[in-house]
Chain A
Amino acid sequence: MIELRDVRYGYGSSVVLDIAAWDVAAGEAWLVAGPSGSGKTTLLHLLAGLVTPVAGRVVVAGTDVAGLAASERDRWRGRTVGLVPQRLHLVGAVDVVDNLRLAQRFGGRSADDRRIQALLDAVDVGHLAHRLPRELSQGQAQRVAIARAVVNRPAIVLADEPTANLDDAHAAAALELLRTQALEAGATLVVASHDARVRPVLARTLMLPSRATVAA
């Protein structure tokens, strides 16, 4: 599902990420761990095609991401990747349902309100479907963000620090939800986190050093 070879990313002479090789099979759940500044978020952005490497190959779901033209990469991302961003950000101007409809639209899917409602029910926010994001608690917003990430049944779900600022109970619930939903969508799950509570939940770990260099 994921194949990284000799991937380097940085700005000028400063190298942020340097991964010689990393392979992830379809359906696996991985933790990308490491201290702040180790390049965890950058790795997720590389996998999502939001940035392209300075050198090396990033292949996700059989596609060499860097080889795609910018507009093709956007389309590919909408179809293939589900992203739970660090700030759990939902589009504030529209309600919960429309947040998921936007994901379907940009994912090239036709509107499927039944799928949306089923997902929202599955993450226990079905009754909040027509609330605006500002009317949700952080926990509720997180559930909506997870539902949005899997609504298009993506090949890969990327979550950036999903347990940040959550207490133990909520952190465990959030991780379980992510894992379950990714599993149900048939997606590979990659979670970037420096939170020690995440490690026991996910089967595999990629540890990034403070200046990331990973040997094959």
Chain B
Amino acid sequence: MSLTQLALAYARRRPLSTMLVILLLAVGTAVVALTLVLTRELETRLHRDAEGIDLVVGAKGSPLQLVLAAVYHVDVPPGNIPLDAIAALRAEPLIASVIPLALGDSFRGYRIVGTEASLVDHYRARLAAGSLWSAPMEAVIGSDVARATGLAVGATFAGSHGMAEAGAEHANAPYRVVGVLDRSGSVVDRLVLTSVDSVWAVHDTHHGKEGADEDHDAEAGNAAARGAQAGGGHADDGRAREVTMALVRYAGPLAAATLPRKINSDTNLVAASPAYETARLLSVFGVGVDLVRAFAYLLIAASALMLFVALAQALDERRYDLAILRALGAHRAQIAWVLVAESLVLALAGAVLGLLLAHALLAVLAQTVTAAAPLAGAATTFRPEEAIVAGLAIVAGILSAAWPAWQAYRLDVAATLADS
């Protein structure tokens, strides 16, 4: 019988405290691992979606809101910008490329984006089936959209106002799916892409049917509806054509120093830097993450403390056992090891269980929540930081055994055996 087997036998003898210690350690490890994985995934996703976009130009309002709406498609845009502004941006020598976005509608919670083919190129997305749009009311859907809605090439669907699924439907202006994108791991996986003309056409029909729909026009995110009337640069009601915003890439480093200030001061537009706004968002978000993580570390510390108390109590109960083992020929270090091994086994069990729990939760999230589908990869991949978390839990376990093990090491065998 090995010393580790003996340590396991001792752990089995007090199942309640053993289970509690393992459970606490597992929960603490799982929460720390989850926050690590989710934070990394979020950072990766935010950086990937914003990659190559130096500036978002939109209507006056919150720069963060502008970036969230234009780059991550998780917020409503602050308003519209005139179509002329896009032309002006394109004429600017400091700008290499401009991708216009016309937002306003969605399909089953997935945003419909009126844009140009350059958006697909920007995210290096490839077609899995069909082709890109070439005429109004043709749409290309992202891989997540295809999976969640079951739409395929040839299918038709109608968008609804805003981002809510319960929004009023544009039933009389259906889209036809002409292409399905392969999974790119970027935000386009979750978008329905079409031409800006399509968005305008939908609202032509809408306005033609309902006249001036004030609610519609006022709805945030339906900004593209304004000026969506037919005609060269102006809608039928005389208002200038509008889009929602533009994604801008600089021509060179000089642009970063001058362009945002120039746009913000000389025009009625707002220029927001995705890199800056993302960093700001992560710093705010990071406070919450740090709090959750601190709580999880507290759980690990609490379980280590509980392990310490359990071992200290066990030392008193086992004093005679340990003296007998010494009388049988065990040396001091072996006796100390029995306590360390017991703690180590429990800490290891808690840490491994915690990591498995975290990854099981990620797998369940990826399977059940569409927005969390990209976590499927993280669910089956272990990051090096997780090994560090598990290592911390194990070190906490070993430290909690240090004092009881030292006491066992110093045990006065003769006095203990004589103490009957």
Contacts and interface: CB of A to CB of B under 8 A. Distances in A.
Interface of A: 41-42, 45, 48, 50-51, 70-71, 74-75, 77-79, 83, 85-87, 89-94, 98, 101-103, 105-108, 111, 148, 160
B210 to A, nearest CB: 80
Contact of B327 (A75, A85, A108): A85
A86 B328 contact: no
B414 A108 contact: no
A185 to B, nearest CB: 15
B325 A74 contact: no
Interface string B324-340: 11111111101000000
B9 interface: yes
B329 A78 contact: yes
A94 B3 CA distance: 12
A91 B321 contact: yes
Interface of B: 1-2, 6, 9-10, 12-13, 320-321, 324-332, 334, 413-414, 417-418, 420
B315 to A, nearest CB: 13
Contacts of A111: 1
B331 A107 contact: no
- Greatest chain B CB density within 10 A among A93, A98, A105 is at A93
B275 to A, nearest CB: 60
A8 to B, nearest CB: 16
Contacts of A93: 6, 9-10, 12-13, 321
B9 A98 contact: yes
12 contacts: A41-B418, A45-B417, A50-B327, A70-B332, A71-B332, A77-B329, A79-B329, A89-B320, A98-B6, A103-B329, A106-B334, A160-B417
A72 to B, nearest CB: 9
Nearest to B326: A74
List of 3 A-B pairs having minimum Cβ-Cβ separation, nearest first = A78-B329, A106-B329, A74-B331
A45 B327 CA distance: 9
Contacts of B1: 94, 98, 101-102, 105, 111
Nearest to B327: A83
A152 B152 CA distance: 78
B383 to A, nearest CB: 38
A111 B1 CA distance: 8
A87 B329 contact: no
Contacts of B320: 87, 89
A160 to B, nearest CB: 8
